[in-house]
Structure 1
Amino acid sequence: MDFKTLPPGPLRLDNVTVPGCLIGQPGDLVRTSLGEGQPVDMAGAMVLPCFTDMHTHLDKGHIWPRSPNPDGTFMGALTTVGADRTARWGAEDVATRMEFSLRSAYAHGTVAIRTHLDAIAPQDAISFPVFATKREEWAGRITLQAACLIGAEDFSTDGTFRTTADIVAAHQGVLGMVTYPLPDIAQRIRDFLGMAEARNLSADFHVDETLDPASNTLRLIAEAVLETGFSAPVVVGHCCSLSAMPEGDALATLDLVARAGLHVVSLPMCNLYLQDRQPHCTPRMRGITLVHEMKARGINVSFSSDNTRDPFYAYGDMDMLEVMREATRIGHLDHTGTDWVKAFTTNPATAIGTATTLDPANCVIFRARTWNELLARPQSDRIVIRHGRPIDRTLPDYAELDPLMERP
């Protein structure tokens, strides 16, 4: 339950703690008042904007009980999800699991989500209409965007992907693709951007989700954007191989990324789960991309949930505070500036073109008064304010999904 009951009607939240970087004030955390109306002493409670979760997979969510990853590896995830998709992903199945994830995200304080949707035909014609229905049903609560997801080997300008791209355009979506080294990957990236430009679509890539230092399609994407003049927003996610390649190569790539104006989203929980997993061996390399070096170059860096209870990541609950807490620990975001909170709020909103400000009518309030207090506990007693009123934060019961979880 909420840690404090707020009176009805317009409120002035007195004695709240907010990050100075979000209100244009110097310093790390500052005490202030927010809003106009009946005054309420909040005893130093921290207030953050509602969260933007810019890289998720709502179509995959919560299939773990029926299709667990057999060995925790990336290939185990690919094959398991592929089999589950072929056997089970009808419209009702996808819609039910999407709804569960959206209810969870809303209860935790998320206001905008971009989801990737597996789009190899015929799944594109199933999942995008389901998504469109959910976008309409959730309007006013969560702003939803969808990006198609295919592997680079499935892209061609004259094949079935043209139909997929048309479906994406018809649903006001984002064109998405997974990139990795192929003999002609540079040309595929250019052709992909051309298809996006022809349909007035932005682009969102899964990039170099590997610890192979020779995998550097990120550089090719940056070069393609610069050389073609592609002007729509481009998001690149994962970029794990940067952590394994020689530092000179990695930093030269980031210089190009900065010049190209790419938006980067790091998915540390999923990468931590999959990367460097070997039987009976302790992982040595954890796969988080070079977020500090990106930030130093002025690159717009964000963090996001990625997968939730599926073979790519067995855990998660669409809670961006969990992402914030774990990213801070995994990426050593503490002791390195006072504005990393933007990477979970305003930065992802900028990347996907939504607006997020510290608005007392749409915010998340935590009992915590300092960063240490905020990140030391799950903050399960937070208050979520939407349209000026505290919402019911009851999370959906996993038992609701039981009818979908019978194994073949």
Structure 2
Amino acid sequence: MRRATLPAALVSGVTQDIAAAEGLMRADVLIDDGRMAAIQASGIAAPDDLPFVDLDGGLVLPTLVDCHTHLDKGHIWPRRSNPDGTFPSALAAVGADRIANWSAEDVRARMEFALRCAFAHGTSAIRTHIDSIPPQDAISWPVLEELRAEWAGRVEVQGACLFAIDQLDADDGFLDSIADRVAAAGGVLGAVTYMVPRLDEHLDALFSAATERGLDLDFHVDETADPDAESLKHIAEAAIRSGFDGTILCGHCCSISNQPEARADATLDLVARAGVHVVSLPMCNMYLQGRASGRTPRWRGITMLHEMKARGIPVMVASDNTRDPFYAYGDLDLVEVYTQATRIAQLDHPVGDWITTVSTAPADVMRLPAHGRLSVGGPADMILFRARDWSELLSRPAGPREVLRSGLAIDRTLPDYRELDALLGVSP
């Protein structure tokens, strides 16, 4: 591929110095047997008999990594919408739909549909949270394991269990049971955290269960405007207290943006010290947070990404929910997510290396070193755009793109929503 434009922050294994402007470098990429055999400055002589494509300055990204989704909830909107767009209504609607409809057949069909969307858009790895309160855990986790095996080589699928942390109040053996199930499935241990009386006790139990089984941790954290919600601080303290050496990913972390500066800064210092990673879900949180009937929202519901990044805290953005009561829209397209995050959180002036939020940073927390990178010797898994720079891409994210896997273009045809009509009870 001649005259490609590559984000310098995502390129590795290049031996020569290639000039970069605005974080972008112009290069030629040699693809051999499905791998990137060389990345070199444009214009260096190549053998005349090599077939080539002239990208004319087109931007090249690696396939991207979506580290926080809910595939098991996805696409239920037609049969169970959110009547007012609020968080409590979303909880109630999803709970009712789960009880009424979430058979293995139902969960599998919707998750498969979602994976087809993500794959077509250029995602090569995805972590999904799995609602895990019995009896749903016994239904959904086997489905996840089946899909992970079937999609191997196309989309790397990880699962993280999801339950409210005060589920542990009962002390009925649930934690050991779900942690064993997660470990057997090669998943990630997780929970929704908020300010309950036994929060620290339950966090210590989760860290201990993860350590015993060699599991990483993934939490839903402080998804509220309430400045008194400080479970992020408690998670960082628990990580330090336990000496935990796995990866810890905290999602949402909305409330810290409404806290006094000094209190927020102290928490961020703890988060940095604890080695916690943070993912913001800007599209979903803008949909839910600050919503009140007849009132324009006053805040965006996103966390303090700039302040976190300045402290060396690994930060990322992800899709979260898709066409369900928590977010009525979305298509698991990380180019859209990155574009909206840039606009919402002002990840620009300069754009810099914020593209790492949907590539290397989530790949690292998911322990997938071959994903989200343009590496000499690595797989030729990439997204090719007609857009030539960040301004063109972020202005027209739905513009022309081609997805290569092992150097070959895939069929980017998206599944038709009509395929789900019978499952969701939708009449033509």
- Shorter-chain TM range is over 0.9
SS in 1 for 2:339: helix
Out of 189, 192, 202, which is 2:206 matched to? 192
Cα distance in 1 for partners of 2:224, 2:269 equals 21
State whether residues 305 and 323 of structure 1, in contact with CA within 8 Å, keep that contact through their aligned partners in structure 2. Answer: yes
Deviation at 1:389, TM superposition (A): 0.3
Deviation at 1:159, TM superposition (A): 3.0
SS in 2 for 1:384: strand
Match of 1:314 in 2: 328
Match of 2:401 in 1: 382
Q: Would you say 1:277 and 2:296 are equivalent positions?
A: no
Out of 8, 32, 43, which is 1:20 matched to? 8
Deviation at 1:23, TM superposition (A): 2.3
Q: Would you say 1:288 and 2:269 are equivalent positions?
A: no
Q: Would you say 1:110 and 2:137 are equivalent positions?
A: no
Match of 2:224 in 1: 210
Cα distance in 2 for partners of 1:341, 1:373 equals 15
* Mapping for residues 31-42 of structure 1, pairs under 5 Å: 31-36=26-31, 37-42=50-55
State whether residues 121 and 164 of structure 1, in contact with CA within 8 Å, keep that contact through their aligned partners in structure 2. Answer: no
Q: Would you say 1:87 and 2:100 are equivalent positions?
A: yes
Deviation at 1:39, TM superposition (A): 2.2
TM-score, length of structure 1 as denominator length: 0.95
Cα distance in 1 for partners of 2:418, 2:400 equals 22
State whether residues 380 and 407 of structure 2, in contact with CA within 8 Å, keep that contact through their aligned partners in structure 1. Answer: yes
Cα distance in 2 for partners of 1:282, 1:394 equals 37
The code of the aligned residue for 1:266 comes to S
Quick check: 224-233 or 373-382, which moved more? Answer: 373-382
State whether residues 336 and 398 of structure 2, in contact with CA within 8 Å, keep that contact through their aligned partners in structure 1. Answer: no
Out of 78, 83, 90, which is 2:91 matched to? 78
Deviation at 1:43, TM superposition (A): 0.5
The code of the aligned residue for 1:277 comes to R
Deviation at 1:381, TM superposition (A): 2.3
Quick check: 21-30 or 63-72, which moved more? Answer: 21-30
Quick check: 305-314 or 28-37, which moved more? Answer: 28-37
* Mapping for residues 103-252 of structure 1, pairs under 5 Å: 103-156=116-169, 158-252=172-266
Cα distance in 1 for partners of 2:374, 2:11 equals 7
State whether residues 347 and 354 of structure 2, in contact with CA within 8 Å, keep that contact through their aligned partners in structure 1. Answer: yes
Match of 1:405 in 2: 424
Out of 358, 378, 392, which is 2:374 matched to? 358
Out of 36, 57, 63, which is 2:76 matched to? 63
Deviation at 1:18, TM superposition (A): 1.1
Deviation at 1:184, TM superposition (A): 1.4
Deviation at 1:164, TM superposition (A): 1.6
5+ residue gaps, structure 1, are 1-12
Q: Can you list the C-alpha shifts for 1:234-275, whole angstroms capped at 9, x where unaligned?
A: 110000001111111111101100000011111000000000
The code of the aligned residue for 2:389 comes to T
Cα distance in 2 for partners of 1:158, 1:33 equals 60
Cα distance in 2 for partners of 1:20, 1:110 equals 20
Out of 328, 338, 347, which is 1:333 matched to? 347
State whether residues 223 and 252 of structure 2, in contact with CA within 8 Å, keep that contact through their aligned partners in structure 1. Answer: yes
Match of 2:24 in 1: 29
Deviation at 1:332, TM superposition (A): 0.2
Cα distance in 1 for partners of 2:384, 2:416 equals 24
The code of the aligned residue for 1:80 comes to A
Q: Can you list the C-alpha shifts for 1:66-117, whole angstroms capped at 9, x where unaligned?
A: 0000110000000000000000000000000000000000000000000000
The code of the aligned residue for 2:114 comes to S
Identical counterparts, % of pairs: 55
Match of 1:9 in 2: none
The code of the aligned residue for 1:259 comes to R
Aligned residues between the structures = 395
SS in 1 for 2:106: helix
State whether residues 361 and 388 of structure 1, in contact with CA within 8 Å, keep that contact through their aligned partners in structure 2. Answer: yes
State whether residues 328 and 334 of structure 1, in contact with CA within 8 Å, keep that contact through their aligned partners in structure 2. Answer: yes
Quick check: 378-387 or 268-277, which moved more? Answer: 378-387
SS in 2 for 1:232: coil
TM-score, length of structure 2 as denominator length: 0.90
Quick check: 367-376 or 19-28, which moved more? Answer: 19-28
5+ residue gaps, structure 2, are 13-17, 32-49
Match of 1:258 in 2: 272
Cα distance in 2 for partners of 1:86, 1:292 equals 40
Q: Would you say 1:394 and 2:413 are equivalent positions?
A: yes
Cα distance in 1 for partners of 2:425, 2:297 equals 33
State whether residues 367 and 379 of structure 1, in contact with CA within 8 Å, keep that contact through their aligned partners in structure 2. Answer: no
State whether residues 49 and 362 of structure 1, in contact with CA within 8 Å, keep that contact through their aligned partners in structure 2. Answer: yes
SS in 1 for 2:224: coil
Cα distance in 1 for partners of 2:292, 2:272 equals 34
Cα distance in 2 for partners of 1:380, 1:275 equals 30
Cα distance in 2 for partners of 1:349, 1:343 equals 9
Q: Can you list the C-alpha shifts for 1:118-139, whole angstroms capped at 9, x where unaligned?
A: 0000000000000000000000
SS in 2 for 1:278: coil
Cα distance in 1 for partners of 2:134, 2:232 equals 26
Cα distance in 2 for partners of 1:387, 1:332 equals 34
SS in 1 for 2:264: helix
Cα distance in 2 for partners of 1:261, 1:94 equals 34
Q: Can you list the C-alpha shifts for 1:36-57, whole angstroms capped at 9, x where unaligned?
A: 4522211011000100000000
Cα distance in 2 for partners of 1:60, 1:123 equals 12
The code of the aligned residue for 2:241 comes to E
State whether residues 57 and 307 of structure 1, in contact with CA within 8 Å, keep that contact through their aligned partners in structure 2. Answer: yes
**What value does the CA root-mean-square deviation take over the aligned residues?**
1.3
Match of 1:8 in 2: none
Deviation at 1:380, TM superposition (A): 4.3
Cα distance in 2 for partners of 1:197, 1:288 equals 30
